[in-house]
Structure 1
Amino acid sequence: MVAECTALYVLNGFLIGWANSYDVLTGITSPAAVHPQWCAWPLSLTGWAVVPAIIGAAAGYVITEQIQSHHSRELTDVLDELRRLSEPPPPSSGSGP
């Protein structure tokens, strides 16, 4: 998908100019304002729909990896440790008065 978006951007760069291609992709310029329009409309739709989806997917992947790296212990292990820590200590066998 990224390769297709890049190819569309490069095609528009050669046909409508690199600055216009960037402006259409980011929504600064309407695709109706450049010529030829036949290649600018798909670029505009890509900038409107596909680019945010790619960024969102990348962010979701990074966040998921961070969460999974910190979730290294099973819930049962944590509960067993809490139960062990909450038990009263065994009576001491020292000599007293």
Structure 2
Amino acid sequence: MLTMCGAAYVLNGFLIGWASAYDVLTGITSPATVRPQWCAWPLSLIGWAAIPAIVGAAAGYVITEQIQAHHARELSDVLDELRRLADPPGPPPPSGSGS
């Protein structure tokens, strides 16, 4: 997917100019205002749909990896501790001989 986006950008860079290709990709310039339009429309769609999807997927991956890296305890350990804390307290210790 990333290769396809890069190839479309390079093709447009050679055909419509690098600055115009960047402007079309980022939505600054409409693809209807550049010539040739046949290559600018796919680049515009890539900038509108594919680039946010790629960035979102990368962010999701990084966040998931960070969450998993900080996941220190197993679920069974947490459940055992919760069960232990939920048990009623035992009887009080016997008192010493009266003074």
TM-score by length of 1: 0.83
Partner of 1:94: none
The CA deviation at 1:74 is: 1.4
Partner of 2:65: 65
RMSD of aligned Cα (Å): 2.4
> Separation in 2 of the partners of 1:84 and 1:40?
65
Structure 1, unmatched stretches of 5+, are: 92-96
> Separation in 1 of the partners of 2:3 and 2:29?
23
Write the deviation string for residues 2-30 of structure 1: whole angstroms up to 9, x where unpaired: 01100100000000000000000000000
Partner of 1:5: 5
Q: Percent identity?
A: 78
> Separation in 2 of the partners of 1:83 and 1:37?
67
Q: 1:31-50, aligned counterparts within 5 Å?
A: 31-50=31-50
Q: Would you say 1:80 and 2:80 are equivalent positions?
A: yes
Instruction: Specify the code of the residue in structure 2 equivalent to 1:34.
Output: V
Structure 2, unmatched stretches of 5+, are: 94-98
